[in-house]
Structure 1
Amino acid sequence: MRYLLLLIIRNAFRQKLRTILTMVGIVIATVAFGLLRTAVEAWYAGAEAASATRLITRNAISLVFPLPLSYQNKIQQIEGVATTSYSNWFGGVYISEKNFFPQFAIEPRSYLKLYPEYLLSPQEERDFFRDRQGAITGEKLAQKYGWKIGDVIPIRGTIYPGDWNFILRGIYKGASERIDETLFLFHWEYLNEKLKQTGAERANHVGAYVVGIEQASQAAQISQAIDGLFANSLAETLTETEKAFQLGFVAMTEVIVTIIEVVSFVILIIILAVMANTMAMSARERKREYATLKALGFPGSFIALLITGESMVIALVGGLFGLLLLYPAADSFASKIGTFFPVFRVTPETAWLAMGIALVVGLAAAAIPAWRGAAVSATEGFRQIG
């Protein structure tokens, strides 16, 4: 067995330049496929991290239209509702428009109770609760801009005009790698006070309610109860699970996701063609050798094993190098896209899939050359070499 393996490896590297170029193609394909699959997973990261016991209630017309603050007490009284909170999209600009990150005005205590996956120290939590001008942000966002506790974060309002200054009171960490660490959260009361002073119509209104329910199985029933409560009102509601809410945003860009998935499989087809061509050339060049082996009594299965083994070695080495490069490539890509993909990491599933596909490509590329090599007779092999 050891000699067979050595023979396969020597055969794989007999034409060094061709083998190296084929491996480079597999490396590039593995990295490209891994990055594209990671991008697709990042698109769905918010939905995958959603809790089954959280509902989102928004205006039935559009998320753009607010809901009265008075709805909170009515929602809280519905049977099965454990906690209610609310948030409001702020949409300001930090220094310049390119520095985009999600900003929400929230009710701190109830909101953080509903999102225990945002981990703050007890001191940071207390400081945030006490300071109406205070804000908290995720660790990833704080690292990007070099923010520290106590820094004043100036944000220029767009939806809510004016210059807003927030004092950073806490930097949260996600309870798992799937948690978004690019959010910027501050007191809704701070926003509402300013709106009251200017007489804005959106005072005492919120963007959406977050509803914590006691049991996930009650989601449909409670959603219907909430929407029924405000039916025929001036601001009717649409309530759905947090996952369905997140998937609604993904659906807006579904065409882009589909294109990415198609491109990832096109890459596999291309590298399969390159690999198959390499193996076909190798098998054609070695017909005299295979004919000699047949004449010496080696069965066709042995020839097929040599060809398949050679293809698998090339695919395996190329796939492993591609996998090693995939992680730094993903980190580099994540640093350049900023907060567009809050969670961009190569999952173990993607890594295994990339390696599995590399091995499948190796098997598929060797299939026809191995079959032909096993089927050819010794006399036919010598005659074709001529």
Structure 2
Amino acid sequence: MLLALIFRNAFRHRLRTLLTMVGLAVAILAYGLLSTVISAWYAGADGASGARLITRNSISLVFPLPITYREKIRQIDGVRAITLANWFGGVYKEPKNFFPQFAIEPESYLNIYSEFRLTDEERREFLRDRKGCIVGAKLARTYGFKVGDTITLQGRVFPGNWDFVIRGIYTGRDAKTDVSQMLFHWDYLNETLKKRWPGRANEVGVYVVDIGDSARAAEISRAIDIQFKNSNAETLTETDRAFQLGFVSRTESIVVAIRLVSYVVIFIILAVMANTMAMTVRERTAEYATLKALGFSPLFVILLIYGESLAIAAIGGGVGIAATFPVAALFAKTLGKFFPVFDVSSTTVGLQMLWALLVGLISAFFPARRAARVKIVDGLRSIG
């Protein structure tokens, strides 16, 4: 009987209830989308391994390191494996088609970044072909790349037209793996530089160091940097996560602003919902007094009001949560190149549910208390 009465009361004023539900759905959707944007911002850092170190030039990423550093780093105690990567910075066909491209040492890079998954045949073909490259599954979907295609990039950091043959399309070990990159042979880049610009050859953007034991990260980082102290190219070594967070920190104010907006949205819908419940209680004061006169306890009245508020919050919140997934998919399709990983996480869905529940509970608190305390005589005199 209580549930039937709750839903009947909830939809007694249909337009007001529907508008409240729509407002709540939009608020929960907005919160979920903004939370997903924040998660996407930190996706690189969240997916980083604590057992990987990044060694770069201490001045800036713009300045390279000599290739001779590779063997010196390899000999440091605690270093299990080492690879290298160079940012390429080319565009595909036209300037708007920009995506991350790295020149790498293929075998060692794929061993260290084991989250990049290729078939055995794709891996073999990639290692064999000096002009071969691999692209992430998301990148392949965006541009329609297929294995065997030849693509040409217009170099910006390294001018000229560069031809590559796609030898594989890699997938990720999990949802946090970045599958929007292109990887190709560093040797191909270096040999071409030797012919065109010898002064830029034999240089590396960053070294990626696999240490196996993340507990020794600080110790090994210091050992690497001490090795090259007072050299022409001093180094800065940090964990992969710290390296990724370094990029995020440059836009930290934007992240904070987005987070504040998400909370403001929830606060606004809380105020709207509270007003709806307050109006409902004022209109039905005489009804609640009648229930008390018939022998129903104040607790029954409280449960009736809380039930109505939670029913509205559950339906509106449920619609908002359900809408988050297609809207996020559309967002990822439209702005995917800015967010390599853009998935609605279970944590985000859980927080959406929690906020919908809290809005329902808080909105009903004062109206329920007022209805429970109203005297029968005063309530029956009420005209709404």
> What is the TM-score of this pair, normalised by structure 1?
0.98
Shift of 1:47: 0.6
Report the Cα distance in structure 1 between the residues aligned to 2:102 and 2:313, rounded to whole angstroms.
Answer: 48
Report the Cα distance in structure 2 between the residues aligned to 1:305 and 1:130, rounded to whole angstroms.
Answer: 71
Shift of 1:302: 1.3
Q: Which residue of 1 aligns with 2:206?
A: 208
Of 322, 325, 330, which aligns to 2:323? 325
Of 281, 285, 295, which aligns to 2:279? 281
Report the Cα distance in structure 2 between the residues aligned to 1:97 and 1:374, rounded to whole angstroms.
Answer: 66
Report the Cα distance in structure 1 between the residues aligned to 2:217 and 2:285, rounded to whole angstroms.
Answer: 67
Instruction: Extract unaligned runs of 5+ from structure 1.
Output: none
Of 112, 130, 153, which aligns to 1:114? 112
Structure 2 residue 231 is matched with structure 1 residue 233: yes
Opposite residue 97 of structure 2, the aligned amino acid is N
Of 367, 370, 376, which aligns to 1:369? 367
Alignment of 1:137-152 (within 5 A): 137-152=135-150
Q: Which residue of 2 aligns with 1:124?
A: 122
CA contact (8 A) 1:87 1:209 kept: yes
Report the Cα distance in structure 2 between the residues aligned to 1:180 and 1:7, rounded to whole angstroms.
Answer: 51
Q: Which residue of 2 aligns with 1:58?
A: 56
Report the Cα distance in structure 2 between the residues aligned to 1:109 and 1:359, rounded to whole angstroms.
Answer: 51
Identity %: 58
Shift of 1:382: 2.1
Shift of 1:176: 0.8
CA contact (8 A) 1:30 1:322 kept: yes
CA contact (8 A) 2:336 2:342 kept: no
Report the Cα distance in structure 1 between the residues aligned to 2:129 and 2:140, rounded to whole angstroms.
Answer: 19
Opposite residue 242 of structure 2, the aligned amino acid is A
Q: Which residue of 1 aligns with 2:175?
A: 177
> What is the TM-score of this pair, normalised by structure 2?
0.99
- Matched position secondary structure for 1:169: strand
Q: Could you give the per-residue CA deviations for residues 286-307 of structure 1, whole angstroms, max 9, x where no partner exists?
A: 0110111122222212111111
Opposite residue 149 of structure 1, the aligned amino acid is V
Structure 2 residue 229 is matched with structure 1 residue 219: no
Is 190-199 or 42-51 further displaced after alignment?
Answer: 190-199
Of 90, 93, 99, which aligns to 1:92? 90
Runs of 4+ in structure 1 deviating by more than 3 angstroms, as ranges, are none
Q: Could you give the per-residue CA deviations for residues 188-234 of structure 1, whole angstroms, max 9, x where no partner exists?
A: 11111111112343210000000001311111110000000000000
Alignment of 1:1-386 (within 5 A): 3-385=1-383
CA contact (8 A) 1:101 1:182 kept: yes
Q: Could you give the per-residue CA deviations for residues 133-182 of structure 1, whole angstroms, max 9, x where no partner exists?
A: 10001111011111111101110001110001100011101011110000
CA contact (8 A) 2:84 2:205 kept: yes
Report the Cα distance in structure 2 between the residues aligned to 1:29 and 1:73, rounded to whole angstroms.
Answer: 55
- Matched position secondary structure for 2:329: helix
Q: Could you give the per-residue CA deviations for residues 251-304 of structure 1, whole angstroms, max 9, x where no partner exists?
A: 011001000000000000010011011101110000110111122222212111
Report the Cα distance in structure 2 between the residues aligned to 1:99 and 1:271, rounded to whole angstroms.
Answer: 39
Report the Cα distance in structure 2 between the residues aligned to 1:202 and 1:85, rounded to whole angstroms.
Answer: 19
- Matched position secondary structure for 2:244: helix
- C-alpha root-mean-square deviation of aligned residues, in Å? 0.9
Report the Cα distance in structure 2 between the residues aligned to 1:199 and 1:164, rounded to whole angstroms.
Answer: 15
- Matched position secondary structure for 2:290: helix
Opposite residue 368 of structure 2, the aligned amino acid is A
Report the Cα distance in structure 1 between the residues aligned to 2:382 and 2:262, rounded to whole angstroms.
Answer: 40
Q: Could you give the per-residue CA deviations for residues 225-252 of structure 1, whole angstroms, max 9, x where no partner exists?
A: 0000000000000000000000000101
Report the Cα distance in structure 2 between the residues aligned to 1:376 and 1:202, rounded to whole angstroms.
Answer: 83
CA contact (8 A) 1:59 1:237 kept: yes
Opposite residue 126 of structure 1, the aligned amino acid is R
CA contact (8 A) 1:66 1:202 kept: no
